[in-house]
Each structure stands twice: as structure tokens, then as C-alpha cells.
Structure 1
Amino acid sequence: MEDRLKNLRKSMEKTTFNQLKFTEQQRKDIREKINKQNESEEDILLAIMQLLVLEKTGFELAKYLRSRGIQKFENNEGLLYTLLHRLEQSGCLQSNWDESAAKHYKLNDKGRKILRKAEKKQTKKRFVLTELLEG
């Protein structure tokens, strides 16, 4: 853990969280929820890439994600645009603005190549995250 995070943790333990006590079972439950959430984020990333094979605005993308049962961006559209920006910065998306000032996103060649590899692999979710967000 980075020094600044260690210092923040120490500071918070002295003030904010000094009355909180977690049982081992509670800690285990929290870890499980975090791991489940990470898996769902990988599924979401893959769904976004699949949907962006054809050009869409962020609004359209959010609508299609909702139709797939993905509610993560329901009251937090900024999170979707942050993820789109990250994909764009990693060189997987191309974007353009239309005359009505709407931004359109679409996978480019690199993004389609990563998507094809991810769909072929058994461990597609881990592969996508490694390629895009950690690579």
C-alpha cells in the first residue's frame, strides 16, 4: 500500500473509525461483496465493448445497458462517462461530436481486436480488465 494511503488509514483509525469493530465474519462478507462487485464490473466492461461495435452516444449506451439489466449507471451517469473516457484514452474507442453537440463512441480496430480475444478466451473478463485498465 502506498505511504499516503497508509497515513490516511492511520489517521482515520485514530478519528473516524476508532469505535468500529468488525467480526471476522463481517470482514469475510465484505471481502466477498467486493469480489462479486469486481466480477460484475468486468461483465459491464465487456457489455459496453459489445454494444460499442456500432456507434452510440453515452445516453444510448446507458439505455442499452439498462435493457440488459445493468443498473450500475442508473443514478451515476458520470461513472459511465469516466469509463468511456478511460477506454478512449487507452486507444480502444474513437469518438466524434455531431452537429447537435452529442458525442458518439465506437470501438476502433484495437478495441474490436481486444473484444474478439476476450470473447474467445475462457477467462475473458480477467483478460479484458488486464488489457484495458492495467495494460
Structure 2
Amino acid sequence: MEERLKGLKRAMQKTTFQHLAFTEQHRQTVQHQLSATDLLTEILALLTTQKTGTALTELLHIKGTPLIQQNEGLLYTTLHQAELDGYVEAYWTDTMEKYYQMTAKGQKLLHQKQERSPKGFFKGGFVHE
């Protein structure tokens, strides 16, 4: 743990936050938001070459990504948001398959995540938990 975070819990108990209740629902909401960010990172790591949503789903299932195993629709929601945010571009083929590819902005985000992650977190194009 970082030095600046040591004693944070104890300090928070002695501050104005002492009366706030952090319910299980709050924990799940925070976990979901953190997990969605991790999911985007995993998707970007897989998009070193263009792929369909189906191919991404299969790769994430093989990897055992919990969010995808629980809700495959989350992949498409995350891809759509990534497209809106400029991290991913998508196009349709003549055979009506939609392909996704990482943009320069997505590469920059992935690189930043890789630099901040613990050593060994990224291996072989997959994000390891």
C-alpha cells in the first residue's frame, strides 16, 4: 500500500465522514464501476487487431472475465460507450458483421493503464486479475 494511504481508514473514522453508512448496495455500485473500467482495459488489450463483438466475447469467456460471464450485454454497452468516447472505432462489413478497432486515443489510454498497473498485470495481450 502506498505510504500516503496508510492510516486512511483510521483518519476517516475521526472525521465528518464517521456518520456516513456505506451499504452493500454502495459497495456493489462502486465495484461495478471499477469493473467496467477494467473491462474497457481488457477490451482495448484485445483490440491490437480489429475484432467482432462475437470474437471479443469468446476471448473474454476463454479468459474467464467474470463480468462477461454474468452479463454478455455489458460488452456491447462498454463498446458503444468506448466508441462514443473515441477509444474505439467500428464499421460494418458487407456481410453485416460489425468490427471494432482501437483508436490512437484508445492506445494512449491502454498505455496509461499498463504503466499504472502492477508489474505483470498485463501479459500476452490479456489483462490478468
Instruction: Tell me whether the two structures share a fold, i.e. TM-score over 0.5.
Output: yes
TM-score under structure 2 normalisation? Answer: 0.64
Alignment gaps of 5+ in structure 2: 1-20, 119-129
Alignment gaps of 5+ in structure 1: 1-25, 124-135
Deviation at 1:110, TM superposition (A): 1.3
1:59 counterpart = 2:51: no
1:34 counterpart = 2:50: no
Question: CA offsets per residue over residues 92-123 of structure 1, 9 Å max, x none?
Answer: 11112122100000101111111111211259
Contact 2:91 2:100 in 1 (8 A): yes
Q: Displaced runs of 4+ in structure 1, greater than 6 A?
A: none
Question: What percentage of aligned pairs have identical amino acids?
Answer: 31
Which has the higher mean CA deviation after the structures are superposed, 42-51 or 68-77?
A: 68-77
Question: How many residues of Structure 1 are paired with residues of Structure 2 in the alignment?
Answer: 99
Deviation at 1:78, TM superposition (A): 2.9
RMSD: 2.5
1:114 counterpart = 2:106: no
Among 64, 72, 77, the residue aligned to 2:72: 77
What's the counterpart of residue 38 of structure 2?
Answer: 43
Once residues 40 and 91 of structure 2 are traced to their aligned partners in structure 1, the CA distance between those partners, rounded to angstroms, is 21
Once residues 78 and 31 of structure 1 are traced to their aligned partners in structure 2, the CA distance between those partners, rounded to angstroms, is 22
